[in-house]
Structure formats: C-alpha cells, structure tokens
Amino acid sequence: MLTEADRGVPTGTRTRLIVEPGTPVSASVLPNEDADRAEAVCIACGIPERLLRRHGARVRQTHRRANVVVLEVAADRQAALQRELEAAGFVARPPKPVYPLLNESVPAIDVPAVWKAGFLGKGSRIAIIDTGADHHPDFGDRIAVARDFTGQRGVDDVGHGTHVAGIAAGAGTVYRGVAPAATLVIAKALSTNGGTEDTVLAALSWASRQRIDVVNLSLGGPGDPKDALSREVDALDADGIVVCVAAGNSGPAAGTIGSPGCAAGALTVGATDKSKRIAEYSSRGPVAGLAQPKPDVVAVGGGVTPEAACHYGIGVASARARILARDRCAVPPRYVRMSGTSMATPHVTGLVAVLLEASRSGDAKRTRVEHARAVKDALRQGAVDLGLAADVAGAGIVDGARALATLGVGAATRVPARSSSSPAMASSGTEPK
C-alpha cells in the first residue's frame, strides 16, 4: 500500500477528451513522444485547430488502430470543448476510468492456466506477516491459525493484511486470489503505527513452526543484507520456506530496496501496472554488498491516482477489512483498492503456493528444499522479460503458465503435501509497503 485514500475518478477523466474523427487517424503518437507530430496528425484528421487554440487544449496522444485522438484541456474548459466538438460532428467524451481489479491482475500474470491444470494451492500453507487479517468470507475456514504480536488483540486495524491475504488466497467469485485453495497462517506484526524489527522476527519465528511453505512480507525498513531480518529470511530460505518480500515503494531512484527485501534468500518483488509497465514507485537495486540483482521478479501492483478522491483508482481490488468500511477506495460488497509493491508481492506468494502443489504432484520424492528451489527457479526462468535492467525488473514479470511449463508438470494428480518447520529468532522500524 502506498497511502490511504478513497474512491474517486482518475484525474484524466476531468482534464482529457477522447475524440473520434470521421477521417482516419494516420499515425499513433504516444504521450510526451512528439507533441508537434501529434498535433499535425490531429489536425490532418479534421479536428479544427481553432478549437484547440480557443480552449487552450493540446494533443496528448493519437492512436491509429483505435482511430482516436486524446486531448488534454483544463478541467474548467473540458465541457465547453466537448460541446463544440460534438457540434462540429465529432464524437467526444471524457475517458472511462479503468481499474486493475483482481479479476484483471490475476489473469495478467497468466494464473488461470495453472488453475486449468488443476492447481489451486491445495496443501500449501501461506504465512501472511502483516497487520493481521479479518475473517473475510473469501477465506472461508482456511485461516488455520492466527497470532498477534502487537498487543492489538489480533484485529486488522489497518486493512493492509486482509487485502494482501485476499490477493494471495482469496476465493471470491469475481475478485479471486492466486491460490484460492491454500491454507492461511496469519501473524499480526504491524499495527496503525507500523511495527518494529522484533515483532517481525517473532512473527517469522512463530510462523516457521506452523508447517508453512511460503511467507509473504509486504513490509520493510532500513537495513542491509546482513542485518537480523535478512539473516532470518536467508535461514528460512535455506530450510525450504520461500520468502516473498516487497521491494518497497521508494522508486524510481536506484539503491532503494530496504530490508528484508535486500536479503540474498528473499524472492524480492517489484511492481508493474496492469499494462505491465514498471511502476514508478517500485524500488530499484542495486543492493550494496549483494552481488545478485534485486528485485528478483515483478508482478502487478497497480497504479495511483494521487489527485483523485481514491488514491488507488487504478489499484488492485481485494478483500476489505471492517476497518475500511467507509474508505473511499471501497468496492462493494467487501473489497477495497490498494496499490504498491505490497500488492505485487502476494501475487507471487500465491503463485509459489500453486506451483509448490504442482511440483509435489510431479515428484513426491523431492525434499522440501528441492521443491522450493525448483519453484523459485521456474518463476525466474518463466518470467517475461520486460527489456529493463535487472536492477529495475529482475527477470521480468512472473507468468504462471510459463513457470508451470518450466516445472515440467502435467495436470494435477493429488499427492499429500509435505511440510516441516524451521527454528527462528525473535524482533525494527518496519512499515507496510
């Protein structure tokens, strides 16, 4: 999560107009690409230059295949310009808001192909170490155990943890998480004022004793690859527990990945928007003192609409905690939108859970560590290269179908899941990401 906000329309709906001219648009010119050319294309398809000048409008972009021109105009001039364009025979309207909800973000990383093969995360146990999680209807009876390390009676007083858990393992009809049959282990290590290193370490230690297979850490703070949290993550990884950690929301500057995302053993996750463009806020490597690039991979984390009533107008919709009942980003009946590497990370966590189920079905003789290594390798090797530096997007955006193919597993043949726990230590100014 980046900040808290409420539902509203994206700013562009008040300051832009999509115009459909009768004459074909000859070329596609993207925003900030070539303003002069965009205007020339616009005028060539018949949109009167005098109207643009009178209303102080500029041509933002043109699209040949869609045959539209997008104009940018001051909010107080939008309606007048629209009326004059329509009077001149053009179809003109504000752009429609588009929200990358879970029913869009999950297909964006090709998870349905894994579901179709029969893998829903059954037998996998996911630990969510966060602000707690409500007993949301989408979780059913799949919260096996929960514990509070903050003294807040286990209540999700932020709403962050419930949302994260829903992305990883919600089983809603429309807003369905990645591993809708996985078991959840909930540890509340953060509260309204964030948390500390000690509570996170305690939560990790406790969770490791609950037969978990994968941990979601949508949190972090200052640190380095050798600090206590990083060492804990490395130890869990060595024991065959996959630890997915948010890269952070301090991008686009380099060297902005904190702890424990900087841990060598972490599966560190950056964020993209629904269009698979790297999110500006997503933290980048390199990590000082670490030879390998970070983040490891990226996934859909959603975008932001900072000037709208809801700051996450193009964010990810997932399970809503009761505390956010009046939040402006609420989506009826029990959902809410948020954005950040916090939201990208549980997409990967859920994918780990379903791929572990697949790996076990393919070879029940492998050890726990071998299954974990195979799944992490498959995620990296199956990721779709975004053509960006490794310190920006890692191996690329995760892809469920490609990862499953890399594992070399066919349709599901149920095998009892094997899990074991690992010891850990116990407690940092961490904040949800």
The catalytic residues are 130, 160, 342
Nearest to 20 by CA among 77, 73, 86: 86
With tokens 């943890």, the residue in question is: 161
Give me the long-range contacts of 252-255 (CB less than 8 A, separation at least 24).
Answer: 252/280, 252/281, 252/282, 252/284, 253/284, 254/284, 254/285, 254/286, 254/391, 255/284, 255/285, 255/286, 255/287, 255/288
Distance of CA 112 to the CA centre of its chain: 17
Closest C-alpha to 319, from 173, 217, 187: 173
Distance CA 330, CA 5 (A): 9
Q: Which amino acid is at 255?
A: G
Sign, CA dihedral 262-266-272-277, equals positive
Question: Is the link from the previous residue into 346 a cis peptide, with omega within 30 of 0?
Answer: no
Structural contact between residues 221 and 429, judged by C-beta atoms closer than 8 angstroms:
yes
